Chain A
């Protein structure tokens, strides 16, 4: 298995719901807490696994706003794992999820230096490195209903701009989306081979429609309205 996310930059509206959902789930999850520094102070900041940044692409009149959510890409060539001197940073063989063993990490920051996507953040209060777990404590939890066994960011996204799945399976939704919508890897030239893919914007505003049963004619609908509203 090669688990990861597909993120649609065409439909992402930059609402930061995934950021909040991620923080909420993971602060009490496997790698938690996600410490906040001066949460009620002048400069609140803290650990986050997922950050959304907003960009303007091209110049007027062709400009467009792009929201780019970035979390761990669970790279196939994960330098963050090979540079780790303690063996705290590891990539799971069974599903490719990259994790940090909090009991082994010595907080040297080298893995954060090796990550081009800024996916790793040192928890300055705890002293260990934290990162996206792909909600490993959710996706395998058999006590949850099957539909809920997905990362918190995916479940919460109001525009369904995030899709979770297995990239090894050519028929999975993520593989299909990457195939059909030209999914790409950001900064692929560095050779990290990220598993997460991004979908480019479409050329025109476009909503996916599914063919349903056609509406009855106006006369039919008028008759049924009369039938409901006039009492015998």
Chain B
């Protein structure tokens, strides 16, 4: 699949933003974000909302006809993209009400603020899940058609959100012990889930050129595509990265996405070197941008079978 930069930025930024909001609100509901004043909690919510909003705005950039984007709210019953749009828009009034409560009463939770916070948390969760399901629901792309995909989206969103929350806690002068520990756990779980995904997509699977043509007993190869230059189908679906490049990027995903931030947070816990907490989110986001690029570049749409690929 063609890796569109707007969609890569959208999924990484909104995943991290929603992850940050989810963790901040849930910690607050459990009795306050450890080591953070209410102004810091409010700042964390703001950063999360800004990231999510930037992502959602970027997602409209890949639309070829954005003037009809408002219609995307009306097929909630069947379309995961529509569900994502609805959940992400419902998220805003809830999180604004919750932030208002935080601003008015500080650390103490008013009952309506708690309800709004819970709703905002659940809607953030639902939005990230639906983002994953947009891809996982496509039977045409074997590398995406798996429950591992929404699981990865959720875990990577939460892990990057936790690393961001650690940085914000340190920036607001708090002790990051609890959030950093939480970030470590989430990084490990997200890293394992991503590793399982990479193992799972290792082998071509799904339809073959034989089933695509309906001739199942002999070898088939394409003689000619019937066109003298690439069409929309080739530009959108036939993107293929070099194998070496994929390996290099996977290394970057593991090192920048999981290993390096893990080590940075461990050192932070041992030495209180605040700079590490501030650098960690940048490293994680860099790793996740590579991860998201690979998510598209490694996905092989079955229409490639009609262009001579033996299996997807």
A residues with a Cβ closer than 8 A to B are 14, 16, 19, 43-48, 51-59, 62, 65-66, 68, 70, 79, 81-88, 103-110, 112-118, 121-122, 124, 126-128, 184-192, 198, 200
B82, B219, B227, B233: the one contacting A85 at CB < 8 Å is: B82
A55 contact set on B, CB distance < 8 A: 213, 220-223
Task: Give Cα A118–Cα B225 distance, bound, in whole angstroms.
Answer: 13
- Take A86-B75, A110-B81 as given contacts and tell me if A128 and B227 are in contact as well, using a CB distance cutoff of 8 Å: no
Q: Is B26 engaged at the interface, CB distance under 8 Å to the other chain? A: no
A83 contact set on B, CB distance < 8 A: 78-81, 134, 137-138
Q: Are A57 and B72 in contact (CB under 8 A)?
A: no
B residues with a Cβ closer than 8 A to A are 1, 62-69, 71-75, 78-82, 85, 134, 137-141, 207, 211-215, 218-233, 236-237, 301-303, 305-307
B69, B134, B212, B222: the one contacting A54 at CB < 8 Å is: B222
Task: Give Cα A124–Cα B63 distance, bound, in whole angstroms.
Answer: 11
Q: Are A87 and B74 in contact (CB under 8 A)?
A: yes
B137 contact set on A, CB distance < 8 A: 79, 83
- Take A48-B231, A58-B218, A110-B134 as given contacts and tell me if A86 and B141 are in contact as well, using a CB distance cutoff of 8 Å: no
Give min CB distance, A81 to chain B, whole Å. 8
Task: Give Cα A31–Cα B139 distance, bound, in whole angstroms.
Answer: 27
Q: Are A118 and B226 in contact (CB under 8 A)?
A: no
B211, B218, B236, B305: the one contacting A112 at CB < 8 Å is: B236
Q: Are B229 and A44 in contact (CB under 8 A)?
A: yes
Q: Are A56 and B220 in contact (CB under 8 A)?
A: yes
Q: Are A190 and B223 in contact (CB under 8 A)?
A: no
Task: Give Cα A62–Cα B218 distance, bound, in whole angstroms.
Answer: 10
B225 contact set on A, CB distance < 8 A: 53
B65, B71, B82, B211: the one contacting A128 at CB < 8 Å is: B65
22 A–B contacts, CB within 8 A, in A order:
A14-B226, A45-B230, A51-B226, A53-B226, A57-B220, A68-B306, A84-B79, A85-B74, A86-B68, A88-B68, A103-B68, A107-B65, A107-B68, A108-B62, A113-B141, A115-B140, A117-B303, A117-B306, A126-B65, A127-B64, A186-B212, A186-B214
